[in-house]
Amino acid sequence: MSARLSSSKIETDFLVVGSGVAGLRAAIELSRAGRVLMLTKGHPLESNSMYAQGGVAVALSEEDDVGSHLTDTLKAGHGLCRREAVRVLVEEGPERIQELIAWGAKFDKIGKRFAFTREAAHSRSRILRARGDATGNEMVRALMSYAARQPRIQRLDRRFTVDLAVVDGRCCGAIVLNEMTGERTVLPASAVVLSTGGAGQVYARTTNPGNATGDGMAMALRAGALLMDMEFVQFHPTSLYLPSSPPFLLSEAIRGEGGQLRNIKGELFMHRYHPDGALAPRDVVSRAIWSEMAATRARHVYLDVTHLGAAFVKRRFPTIYATCLRYDIDMTEEWIPVSPSAHYMMGGVWTDVQGATTLPGLCAAGEVACSGVHGANRLASNSLLEGLVFGMRAAQSAVAHAGRFPGPVRMPHLEELEQGWPTDFDDPEKLRSSLRRLMWGKVGLVRSGDSLISASAQLVRWMRLLTKPFASRAALEVKNMVQVARCITDAALWRENSVGAHYRSDFPEPNRPGWRQHSQLLFTDGQTSGSAAKERALVLSPPAPVRGKPGKKKAGRS
């Protein structure tokens, strides 16, 4: 198969890669300064944002305040949050939500007041919801509607971003695959905002949609940007467990409304693990479920809402109720089988509090980014708010630091790409499945040095098969998944303590020396032994200083 890169006939000032809450908010902000082109892999509605059920946390009620929201977020992050980023989130969050309401978002109300609810690890009822359990869907709807009315915003769907274009150490566009025609195009821009979401698909069990393959993290790493805290993968405690169906998220809000967890014997058990019971932080609940499954030799536990009343359950959780019915489970009359699943990446592409990465010309927001808001464990329902707040900030940073496109893009491997694409490796889906099972079994909810060393060795072997560019979206996704999986694994191997979502069975203590450091991952050019050819080697260097903005705190310490 052969193909050639073509120059784009589309002229734009800014590229936004991804179209969830963070990408849409960034595009709207960027459109005030110039022309914006949004790129979406696959269908525009296939994003993690669309599947966010529980709600959005924001201090808007009379009984709440931003100080309490800040305290709860820092506590959930187990001492590894960036306090300045959390402050930005909670202080600017109310304005971003009010703005979204003005643009047409409709959140649930009781009478004339918003219906705030509480979720695990929140000290106040501050969770706004929409249509019961479709908050992300409603926020995306409102943002898409508003963005569609902005004449400077153009969308291109079914466009897979293969790599970032870098010239003289600056990001100035992207190489994009048209999924329908196979054509590859160089799209120049004065700045790029990454908002590609997470990487849950590297695990066999995940609540994420099929396109959450870590593309943004992988391409940023290849382009020279810093990744941080990749060992912190949040596992949601309660996803539907049925052997014949994919995991389906059962919102934290169910337990917030009084849902209880029972083991396979029907026993309530959370009181044995935490004083807050079923409302303990997610990492505690997930490991408690894992322990109960091991102790009872079961593959799941149960989530019980039968005592809440059928009318309330149907009204409060209409999407979850309807989904369970499709699998012949009436949650108003029977317990729901659940088990943990990979849910959210706390780590990602390092950004400052303005959304700028360590690569000039590249900004990032949302789950692909590591803004420092979440630390070692994300507080429930902070992610949608983060997308709004830092989506706007990343756009402002992109405008402030936009460069001039210097002419024809010349990437290190561009000549090779222009000569034609090699045939894809056989059966990428088989490798994808093997990768997901490896990560679930050896780099999952409970890790150990032995399991991580074994996983890392296998990932290195797979990476050797993926050193050249590939033709199809399926193969390119697998390449990205393997690279991101290795980042997660090597960072987890480096962190020899247990904190937040990261648990090492061989190092269960939380406060070992140096635990407040943050893992850092960079690609650097190095010489292969006995060869003049250059390879890109993965380097894990937690103590190393990282280039940041003048006057800003260096990445690598909290």
Under DSSP, the state recorded for 353 is: T
Write down the H helix ranges in 224-309. 252-256, 282-296
Do the Cβ atoms of 417 and 407 come closer than 8 Å? no
Closest by CA position to 165, among listed 421, 363, 414, 474: 414
Give whole-number Cα distances, 507 to 249, 256, 498, 502, 522, in Å.
Answer: 30, 31, 6, 10, 25
Provide the 10 A C-beta neighbour count for residue 256: 21
86-90: long-range contacts, CB 8 A cutoff, minimum separation 24:
86/372, 86/373, 88/353, 88/389, 88/390, 88/393, 89/373, 89/382, 89/385, 89/386, 89/389, 89/390, 90/59, 90/66
Separation of alpha carbons 82 and 552, rounded Å: 12
Separation of alpha carbons 272 and 268, rounded Å: 9
- H/E element, 64: none
Q: What is the dihedral sign for C-alpha 291, 297, 300, 304?
A: negative
Do the Cβ atoms of 143 and 47 come closer than 8 Å? no
Separation of alpha carbons 362 and 344, rounded Å: 22
Do the Cβ atoms of 284 and 412 come closer than 8 Å? no
Q: Which of 25, 87, 255, 282 is catalytic?
A: 282
Do the Cβ atoms of 51 and 169 come closer than 8 Å? no
Separation of alpha carbons 359 and 555, rounded Å: 13
HSE at residue 378, side-chain half, CA atoms within 13 A, is 27
Q: Catalytic residue at 282? A: yes
Catalytic residue set: 282
